[in-house]
Amino acid sequence: MNYLVLSIPVPLECETNASEDEPLLGVKINVDVNMIGEILHILADTTTFTKSIPKGFYSAPLDNLLLDSVIRLLEAITSDTDKLILAPMIVREIVYRVLMGEKGEALKALAYKNQYFFQIAQIVDKIHNSYDKKLDVNSLASEAGMSVSSFHTIFKTVTNSSPLQYIKNIRLHKARILMIEEGFNAHNAGYNVGYESPSQFNREYKRLFGMSPGRDCRNCTV
């Protein structure tokens, strides 16, 4: 009975208990920034926008109106015709309700291109696309047009993590995917995400996941 909003890419793990008698149903909606902009344009005279820097992710409880929208979306996608006509309208309704919720500022910041939030979002995208390259805070701060101290402070406000810790977490999560889903061994997985020292990779992997990369991978052959 909660929903999670990610307006920037962050490593995410979800743990739950499910069974055949009590299955888990998960729904993910990719939000179009242009759709957010259109909705906010219509509401320009009736809604306010804060200039503060919001966090890039948050969770909130589902209220009855939002829950009703999600149920109608699930019903609509079971029909070939409803999926084409009704589902897009219901998605728009869901985005509207999230925007108007008490924690809709992160999505608003994306649409309005809040200067600092948008700059950090662009740097985060670069990290996700170049995590296997050498990345240093000074260069990233310069690219964002900020001093190193300001960059560090604003980055942590948006992502809840320091820049170096964020880069490290992305690399380690990517390495885990390479091992578990693509069969890479620990050495090659670490190398492919930018680690030059196997011992450093093993140490930091164990610190984050609580086990060595060798124990965590399955059918590691590459």
Average pLDDT over residues 42-57: 69
Coarse DSSP helix, strand, coil percentages of the chain, rounded to the nearest 5 percent: 60, 5, 35
Average pLDDT over residues 47-52: 61
Give the distance, in angstroms, between the CA of residue 52 and the centroid of all CA atoms in the same chain. 20
Amino acid letter, 120: I
Average pLDDT over residues 54-81: 91
Average pLDDT over residues 35-55: 72
Average pLDDT over residues 178-204: 90
Of 33, 53, 182, 51, nearest to 99 (Cα)? 33
Segments in 77-162 forming alpha helices (H): 80-100, 105-112, 115-129, 137-144, 148-159
Question: Comparing 53 with 131, which gets the higher pLDDT?
Answer: 131
Give the Cα separation of 218 and 214 in Å (integer): 9
H or E element at residue 4: strand 2-6
Query: What confidence score (pLDDT) does residue 69 get?
Result: 95
* Phi, psi (degrees; rounded to nearest 5) at 39: -65, -45
Query: What confidence score (pLDDT) does residue 113 get?
Result: 62
pLDDT digits (tens, 9 = 90+) for 101-113: 877 877 877 776 6
Out of 19-28, 40-49, 71-80, the most confident range is 71-80
Give the Cα separation of 140 and 134 in Å (integer): 11
45 pLDDT band (50/70/90 cuts)?
low
Q: What is the mean pLDDT of the chain?
A: 85
Query: What confidence score (pLDDT) does residue 116 get?
Result: 79
In percent, how much of the chain has pLDDT > 90? 37
Q: Tokens at residue 107, please?
A: 């999505």
Contact 196, 211 (CB under 8 A): no
| Whether the predicted pLDDT of 41 surpasses 80 | no
Handedness of CA 56, 62, 67, 69 (dihedral sign): negative
- Cα atoms found within 13 Å of the Cα of residue 11, Cβ hemisphere only: 19
Query: What confidence score (pLDDT) does residue 48 get?
Result: 61
